[in-house]
A and B are shown apart, each in its own frame.
Chain A
Amino acid sequence: MSFSVTEPSPVQKWIAGTLVVVYALITILPLVWIISTSFKSQNDAIAYPPELVSPVTLEGYVNLFSTRTRASAEDLAANPPETWYDEIAAERGTIIVGPSRFGERFLNSVIIGFGSTFLSVFLGTLAAYAFSRYKIPLKDDLLFFILSTRMMPPIAVAIPIFLMFRGLGLSDTHAGMILLYTAVNLSLSVWLLKGFIDEIPREYEEAALIDGYTRLQAFIKVVLPQAATGIASTAIFCLIFAWNEYAFAVLLTSGNAQTAPPFIPTIIGVGGQDWPAVAAGATIFLVPVMVFTILLRKHLLRGITFGAVRK
């Protein structure tokens, strides 16, 4: 296993560097825009031409998490602000009357997103292992069938699913949404994980079988650690889908199990065009997937089977 790489010339390096920077700017710019908007006041957010630097305020975040009511000067005088967020609300001539529903919507997203990710990866790993290692009648047909569930956009079957969910009492429940996202993600996770597990030489499990372990023990102690890279990347894909899914969430959830994506646009209707609050919602919404990806980054980048088997 030897390869040679010629050292790139300074010009090539410069071009490559420039391309990377330009690409990074293009992808990062919308994020920067959203995040900076979330810290602007409503007026600054819609200022034209846009202001690159404007005073930082947490107004957007306060509005995101609270319900407010417009108050007259007397009311404001009668109820002096007690906390920093009361103060921010008061500056805009409003009084906070209670929390908004963003918190619970966000929590729903976490429960449904991570729940379905766990289930997809768990079931996917077992199925992929079976497909990879065992003789299964009609294996290729089954794999094709599993893949075929993704050959049309899932939303194409929205109406049957809507009716089915209503009939089964799964509409607007966490369990229903977890099942739905798992069903959609499972084909992806089976196929991705099968690829990763196929790459793990059987000799490891056979060595474990010889060393006195059962097949299940060999799977847990030898296969899983080596599939960690694959499991991590599959989990990220599944989470990103479930986390960002909008159409089914709009259709199937409302009062109880509504996730953040359908909720965030509704913020805009509360008290005018509240762009900073929407931006704040989007910003907070980004955090879990980012944290999850960063946590699993180690597994994504490092192939842990490196060098243990000679190829």
Chain B
Amino acid sequence: MAQIRIQNVRKEFGSFTAVASSSFTIEDGEFFMLLGPSGCGKTTTLRMMAGLDLPTSGQIFIDGEEVGQKRARARDIAFVFQMFALYPHMNVRRNISYPLFSQGMSRAEARAKVGEVAEILGITHILDRPVGGLSGGDRQRVALGRAIVRDPKAFFMDEPLGALDAEFRERMAEELRALHDRMRATTVYVTHDQLEAMQMGDKIVVMNHGVVEQFGAPQDIYDWPATRFVAAFIGAPAMNFLDFEGTVGRGATSLRLGDAEIAIPMSRDGRAGALTLGVRPEHIHLDPDAAYRGEVVAVEYMGTTQIVSLRTAHGALKARVPAGQRVAVGASVGLRFDARTLTVFDAANGRALISAANEKVLSHG
């Protein structure tokens, strides 16, 4: 088990920069999510950590040892591929024991070890079957078995649930998390599914266009996004953005949105010009007395809540309000925002302004 440190890692494929100078640290025993849209460099980052691709520059430390330019087999890590990559010409037992034979383990020892792993994963009954006929979930378990059988320093998983049907996915996600909690092995998990990342991860790195946008605990990232991209990528419906021209002074506790005065967490940054106010749907309340107004465009009933689509002077909004509240399409309603949850972004570069509320989260990210 090990800590993994990525330092200024960069990867270029010809003239294309897949990963631009990424740095972050994965603590020993963490379940770590690499999250981002497809093509953002998350898989390349993982492959560099595993030694399947070599970084163009930068360093990768596993357990304090610099392994950036070392081959995969010298790194003592396990990798679970999206397509599982079970060796098709071997049965389940051979697949799981295959990493053991490269270490020169004896047949009897390997057999015992495979039995142990199969027990953990609940696949004892399929050990002697060919991998061809297995269900998606079982293939996933075999792939996991092959990974955990030799107690590697870390597990790397590349969208391991991506190839599964929706119903299996939920279950395997739980199994994976339970397995991790039991083994406490450092795990790096690549996904494009923000829900999966929030649900399973101890820590999340959000990447976009090869750049690390933010790095932190799921809750911190959700509440205090460092950039507009992160704010938009995480959460469904996404954070609302109200674009406006204005000024937020250092120490300001409110901003002017049209005619309305909106209270915000005390700003530590001063910025004037094109700004964006970010507000999560659940932090918008319909309040007849509020100065800021919007027109109801549509209402979606979700059970305990409803999603109200609104049109305002600064763009479209979605608000999540209790299902019991009566909302009429076409009506003009007052909107009140939870002051302590708001984030202001600089529209020019998409970065969040530092405020009293998010400074703790953003100062180390």
Q: Interface on A for B, CB 8 Å cutoff?
A: 201, 203-204, 206-214, 217, 222, 225-226, 304-310
The chain B residue with its CB closest to the CB of A217 is B102
Q: With contacts A206-B52, A214-B73 known, is A306 near B99, CB below 8 A?
A: no
| Cross-chain contact B85 with A207 (CB below 8 angstroms) | yes
| Cross-chain contact B72 with A309 (CB below 8 angstroms) | no
B234, chain A: closest CB distance, angstroms:
28
B239, chain A: closest CB distance, angstroms:
34
What's the Cα separation between A212 and B50 when bound, in Å?
12
What's the Cα separation between A308 and B86 when bound, in Å?
6
| Cross-chain contact B88 with A210 (CB below 8 angstroms) | no
| Cross-chain contact A308 with B131 (CB below 8 angstroms) | yes
| Cross-chain contact B89 with A226 (CB below 8 angstroms) | yes
Tell me whether B291 is interfacial, beta carbon within 8 Å: no
What's the Cα separation between A13 and B132 when bound, in Å?
32
User: What are the 3 closest A-B residue pairs judged by CB atoms, nearest first?
Assistant: A308-B88, A212-B102, A203-B85
Q: With contacts A206-B52, A210-B52 known, is A307 near B102, CB below 8 A?
A: no
| Cross-chain contact A210 with B72 (CB below 8 angstroms) | yes
| Cross-chain contact A307 with B132 (CB below 8 angstroms) | yes
Q: Which residues of B contact A206 (CB under 8 A)?
A: 52, 72, 79, 81, 85
Q: Which residues of B contact A207 (CB under 8 A)?
A: 79, 81, 85, 87, 146
B77, chain A: closest CB distance, angstroms:
7
| Cross-chain contact B87 with A203 (CB below 8 angstroms) | no
Tell me whether B78 is interfacial, beta carbon within 8 Å: yes
A239, chain B: closest CB distance, angstroms:
24
Tell me whether B133 is interfacial, beta carbon within 8 Å: yes
| Cross-chain contact B103 with A307 (CB below 8 angstroms) | no
- 5 new A-B contacts, CB < 8 A, other than A214-B73, A307-B132, A307-B133, are A207-B85, A209-B71, A210-B77, A211-B102, A308-B86
| Cross-chain contact B73 with A203 (CB below 8 angstroms) | no
What's the Cα separation between A216 and B139 when bound, in Å?
26
Q: With contacts A206-B72, A212-B102 known, is A308 near B132, CB below 8 A?
A: yes
27 contacts between A and B (CB under 8 A): A203-B85, A204-B87, A204-B88, A206-B72, A207-B81, A207-B87, A207-B146, A209-B52, A210-B77, A210-B78, A211-B73, A211-B98, A211-B99, A211-B102, A213-B73, A217-B102, A226-B88, A304-B89, A305-B88, A307-B88, A308-B86, A309-B84, A309-B85, A309-B86, A310-B84, A310-B139, A310-B163
| Cross-chain contact A310 with B50 (CB below 8 angstroms) | no
Interface centre among B51, B78, B81 (most CB of A within 10 A): B81
What's the Cα separation between A294 and B329 when bound, in Å?
75
| Cross-chain contact A212 with B99 (CB below 8 angstroms) | yes
Contact digits for B62-106, partner A, Cβ 8 Å, 1 yes 0 no: 000000000111000111010111111100000000110011000
B139, chain A: closest CB distance, angstroms:
8
What's the Cα separation between A232 and B77 when bound, in Å?
35
What's the Cα separation between A203 and B79 when bound, in Å?
10
The chain A residue with its CB closest to the CB of B82 is A203
Tell me whether B246 is interfacial, beta carbon within 8 Å: no
| Cross-chain contact B99 with A309 (CB below 8 angstroms) | no
What's the Cα separation between A5 and B98 when bound, in Å?
40
The chain A residue with its CB closest to the CB of B76 is A212
Interface centre among B78, B86, B89, B150 (most CB of A within 10 A): B89
Q: With contacts A206-B81, A209-B52, A211-B98 known, is A306 near B73, CB below 8 A?
A: no
What's the Cα separation between A203 and B136 when bound, in Å?
17
Q: Which residues of A contact B99 (CB under 8 A)?
A: 210-212
The chain A residue with its CB closest to the CB of B156 is A210
Q: In B121-170, which residues have CB < 8 Å from any A CB? A: 131-133, 136, 139, 146, 150, 163
What's the Cα separation between A306 and B103 when bound, in Å?
29
Q: Which residues of A contact B87 (CB under 8 A)?
A: 204, 207-208, 222, 308
| Cross-chain contact A201 with B85 (CB below 8 angstroms) | yes
Q: Which residues of B contact A211 (CB under 8 A)?
A: 73, 98-99, 102, 146
| Cross-chain contact B73 with A212 (CB below 8 angstroms) | yes
What's the Cα separation between A212 and B75 when bound, in Å?
9
| Cross-chain contact B73 with A310 (CB below 8 angstroms) | no
Q: Which residues of B contact A208 (CB under 8 A)?
A: 87, 98
What's the Cα separation between A308 and B78 when bound, in Å?
19
The chain A residue with its CB closest to the CB of B143 is A207
Q: Which residues of A contact B71 (CB under 8 A)?
A: 209
The chain A residue with its CB closest to the CB of B98 is A211
What's the Cα separation between A225 and B88 when bound, in Å?
9
A201, chain B: closest CB distance, angstroms:
7
| Cross-chain contact B89 with A225 (CB below 8 angstroms) | yes
B144, chain A: closest CB distance, angstroms:
13
B145, chain A: closest CB distance, angstroms:
12
Q: Which residues of B contact A204 (CB under 8 A)?
A: 85, 87-88
A228, chain B: closest CB distance, angstroms:
8
| Cross-chain contact B81 with A203 (CB below 8 angstroms) | yes
Q: Which residues of B contact A213 (CB under 8 A)?
A: 73, 102
The chain A residue with its CB closest to the CB of B50 is A210
Q: Which residues of A contact B102 (CB under 8 A)?
A: 211-213, 217
What's the Cα separation between A174 and B71 when bound, in Å?
44
